[in-house]
Each structure stands twice: as C-alpha cells, then as structure tokens.
C-alpha cells in the first residue's frame, strides 16, 4: 500500500505544497511581495543565468504561484507547469514560444469564442496564422497541414457546445506531422480527462473556470507534458537553438522534459509579463482542493438538467455528450467516463428572440459571460460571447441564433430546473 500512488482528491489537497517552513502555516501563504532577497552575489548571478532555480521577481515566479503550478502539474500528469494571468495569457505564451512570423497552426472550429477571436485577429499582429479544421472530421486536420504548420490546438470538451474531441485520433495526425498537440482542458479539468494519456503534448487551462470554481479569481496555466522532442525538426528555435539572452544556452538540451514550461517562463512571461497575482493563486489553490467533489456534482446536475430539457415542448434540441442519444456519447465514455462536464447548449424553438427573452427571465441562474462557477450560469452566445462572428462562423462554432449555453452549478438540481422552466414559460 505504501507504494500506491495518491488518488485524485488526495493530490488536489496535498500536491505541490507543504507547511510553510518559516512559520509552520499549514495553508500556503499569500506571498504578497514584488521581489526576493538573494543569498549573495553568486546566488543572484546563478538565478539570472538559469544555473539555479529560485525566486527573483513575482512577475516571473512567486512561492504561492509555484504551489499552484505543482498541484496542476500533478493532477494533469505533466512534468512542469506555469501559471499566468488568464487562459488567454496561457495561449499567448504557448504560441509565442513555438511560433515565428509567417508560421501557421491548426485549430478546431469548435472553440470558445474568445479563442476564435484571439486566433483570427490578435495573433495576426505577431504574423501567426490560424487554419481551421473540424473536430468531427479528422481528415480536415491532415489536409490543413503545411510546411509552415507548428501545432494543432483543440479543446477536450468544446465550449460552448460541450462536444467531446477525439484526442487520440488528432494526436496521431500531430505525431505523424512532427508537431505538438495542444489541448485546452478547461471544461473537462483533469478530474474528467487527462489529455497527456491520449497523446497531447501541452495542456492549457483557464483556471478562472472550474479549477478555481468560485468565480472570484482570474488565472491560466500551461502544463508541459515533457513528451515532445523540440530539437528534432529544427522548427522550434527558441527551444533548440542557443539563446542570446541566456549566454547561448539551449533550453531543450539543458532542461529536457521541462524545457517548454521553462521557455514559457523565462522568455514569454519574462518579456510579455502576463503574471498571475499571488492572491489569485491562493484563491484558486483553495478552490482546487474540492475540485473532484465539485466536478462530480456539476456533472450529475448537468445530466439531470439536460435529460429534462430533452423532453421540454419549447426545446428543439439538446447538445450534451452525457445523453445516450448524443453523437459524442461514445467519445465521452472513452475520454471522460466520470461525466460529460457542466457546460452544454440547447436550442429554443423560438430562435434568437426566444433566447434573448429567456436569459432575461431567469431568477436564480446568473446571466453572465463565464462558466465553471458553483452557481448555475446562462448566456445567449450569438448576442454576446460569439457576437463578433459571422452567421456562418456562428453555426460552425455551435453558437447559432437559437443557442442558449448553460453552465450548471452545484445547487439542488430541482431548483435549477424550476428556474429554467419558469424562464421558458
């Protein structure tokens, strides 16, 4: 029994941290400081030259952040992690580390609307170009690969539709092309799905959502799988070539299986600066201790609500992979057997106007642009989160005019259903 690896809930509570060595505090303190004193000149020199690990400046590293990173890496089964200001910041640093001007990456069309905007518009300022593929058509990823392709990006459970992605199939495409597979695991969390077990190389999260779980803190994280050879193809010079800002060090050669997380920290985070606040790290750490308990309740409630909606007279369709009739149900059983998550969409027979009226009529549910809260949340994507998209893009993203998105919380399921019922009536 002594050699048995810790279970998920044990890791969620204990991984990454220990009682504070200076004070004995059992809970990780909030290290609310901008900078850290060096032992001596040599110690300072070693830290700045990457000859030693340690704290220099909170923009780059902080002890509260380090505990958060250790916990997430343990839960995902990764080699190292880097916590940052938001999920968008995590995506920015990932692509900054592997892309050069003129490079391309492939992304699934079934993504959070904010990611679609970031990829379509903001990334153009860096000279990075997205090529879209369909997660329900694996061949579309193969057809999109070119000599300029540097990565494939997907969500394990897609936002807003709750579609489950065939990670193993897409990982095979990425491996054949010699490029990494990046998986946004925000909606699933490692409680439901661990993408590294299915061929992913990098995992990102918006910690703002289910990982923190209480709607009180912004954060993001990058998790390094330690399972990609960044030197083999020569496509990733920031990792494989001598780095001028660190006296010619080759990051992959020096740091091996944690090289990508190191590069994101000492190059991207150092210079672009989207650091997470120590207080936010602390609050997310507190939320993560109950991740397993919360996610199971989220999933149980979501299945009850989706089942009820599927029989409602005003509902045209329900898109939730936990329903046996859903086309992604088999993938859900394979990749997320504990549950299909808490976020899903359904269509109202009254179309756009009915969706707008419904979100204006809820009483207990909160009408806002977030998911992953303990509270149940509702939004009409076509008029809000996905409103920048064209009609064709809305349909492809699973956010058509009749679509309502739910993020089911951990209240009593009967109360959630009662509020949705009165709002539709």
- Tens-digit pLDDT string for the chain (425 aa): 467 889 999 999 999 999 998 899 999 999 999 999 999 999 999 999 999 999 999 999 999 999 999 999 999 999 999 999 999 999 999 999 999 999 999 999 989 888 999 999 999 999 999 999 999 999 999 999 999 999 999 999 998 888 999 999 999 999 999 999 999 999 999 999 999 999 999 999 999 999 999 999 999 999 999 999 999 999 999 999 999 999 999 999 999 999 999 999 999 999 999 999 999 999 999 999 999 999 999 999 999 999 999 999 999 999 999 999 999 999 999 999 999 999 999 999 988 888 889 999 999 999 999 999 999 999 998 888 777 778 887 777 677 888 999 999 999 999 999 999 999 98
Q: How would you write the chain as a 3-class SS string?
A: CCCCCCCHHHHHHHCCCCCCCCCCCCCCCCCCCCECCCCCHHHHHHHHCCCCCCCCECCCCCHHHHHHHHHHHHHHCCCEEEEECCHHHHHHHHHHHHCCCCCEEEEECCCCHHHHHHHHCHHHHHCCEEEEECCCCHHHHHHHCCCCEEEEEEECECCCCCCECCHHHHHHHHHHHCCCEEEECCCCHHHHCCHHHHCCCEEEEECCCCCCCCCCCCCEEEEECCCCCCCCCCCCHHHHCCEHHHCCECHHHHHHHHHHHHHHHHHHHHHHCCCCCHHHHHHHHHHHCCHHHHHHHHHHHHHHHHHHHCCCCCEEEEECCCCCCCCCHHHHHHHCCCCCCCEEEEEECCHHHHHHHHHCCCCCCEECCCCCCCCCEEECHHHCCCCCCCHHHHHHCCCCCCEEEEECCCCCHHHHHHHHHHHHC
Q: What is the pLDDT of residue 120?
A: 95
Residue 383: closest CA among 358, 359, 356, 365? 356
Lookup result for tokens 């898109």: 319
Q: Partners of 318 in the beta sheet? A: 346
Q: What is the pLDDT of residue 288?
A: 98
Do residues 184 and 115 touch, judged by C-beta distance below 8 A? yes
For the chain, domains (ranges, CATH) are 8-286 (3.40.640.10), 291-424 (3.90.1150.10)
Q: What is the pLDDT of residue 2?
A: 60
Cis peptide before 160 (omega within 30 of 0): yes
What's the pTM value of the predicted model, to 2 decimals? 0.95
Q: What is the pLDDT of residue 1?
A: 43
Q: What is the pLDDT of residue 409?
A: 98
Q: What is the pLDDT of residue 351?
A: 85
């Amino acid at each position: 029994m002594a050699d048995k690896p810790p279970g998920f809930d044990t890791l969620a509570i204990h991984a990454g941290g220990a009682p504070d060595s200076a004070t004995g505090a059992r809970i990780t303190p909030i290290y609310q400081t901008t900078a850290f004193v060096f032992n001596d000149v040599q110690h300072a020199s070693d830290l700045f030259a990457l000859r030693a690990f340690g704290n220099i400046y909170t923009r780059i590293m902080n002890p509260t952040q380090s505990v958060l990173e250790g916990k997430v890496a343990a839960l995902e089964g990764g080699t190292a992690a880097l916590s940052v200001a938001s999920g968008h910041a995590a995506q920015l640093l990932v692509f900054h580390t592997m892309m050069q001007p003129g490079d391309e990456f492939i992304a699934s069309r079934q993504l959070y609307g904010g990611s679609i905007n970031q990829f379509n518009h903001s990334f153009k300022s860096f000279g990075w170009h997205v090529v879209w593929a369909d997660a329900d058509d694996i061949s579309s990823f193969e057809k999109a690969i070119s000599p300029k392709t540097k990565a494939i990006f997907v969500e394990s459970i897609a936002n807003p539709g709750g579609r489950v992605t065939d990670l193993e199939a897409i990982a095979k495409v990425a491996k054949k092309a010699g490029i990494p597979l990046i998986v946004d695991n925000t909606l699933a969390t490692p409680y439901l799905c661990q993408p590294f077990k299915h061929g992913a190389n990098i995992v990102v999260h918006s910690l703002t959502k289910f990982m923190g779980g209480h709607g009180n803190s912004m954060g993001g994280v990058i998790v390094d799988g330690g399972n990609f050879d960044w030197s083999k193809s020569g496509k990733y010079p920031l990792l494989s070539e001598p780095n001028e800002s660190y006296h010619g060090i080759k990051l992959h050669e020096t740091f091996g299986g944690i090289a990508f997380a190191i590069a994101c920290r000492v190059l991207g985070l150092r210079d672009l600066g989207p650091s997470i606040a120590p207080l936010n790290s602390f609050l997310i750490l507190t939320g993560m201790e109950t991740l397993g308990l919360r996610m199971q309740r989220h999933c149980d409630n979501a299945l009850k609500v989706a089942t009820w909606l599927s029989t409602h007279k005003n509902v045209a369709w329900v898109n939730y992979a936990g329903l046996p009739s859903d086309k992604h149900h088999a993938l859900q059983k394979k990749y997320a057997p504990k549950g299909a998550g808490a976020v899903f969409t359904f269509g109202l027979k009254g179309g756009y106007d009915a969706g707008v009226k419904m979100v204006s009529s809820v009483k207990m549910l909160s009408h806002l642009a977030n998911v992953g809260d303990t509270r149940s949340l509702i939004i009409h994507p076509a008029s809000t989160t996905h409103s920048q998209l064209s009609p064709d893009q809305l349909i492809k993203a699973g956010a058509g005019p009749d679509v309502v998105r739910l993020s089911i919380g951990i209240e009593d399921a009967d109360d959630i259903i009662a509020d949705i019922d009165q709002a539709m009536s």
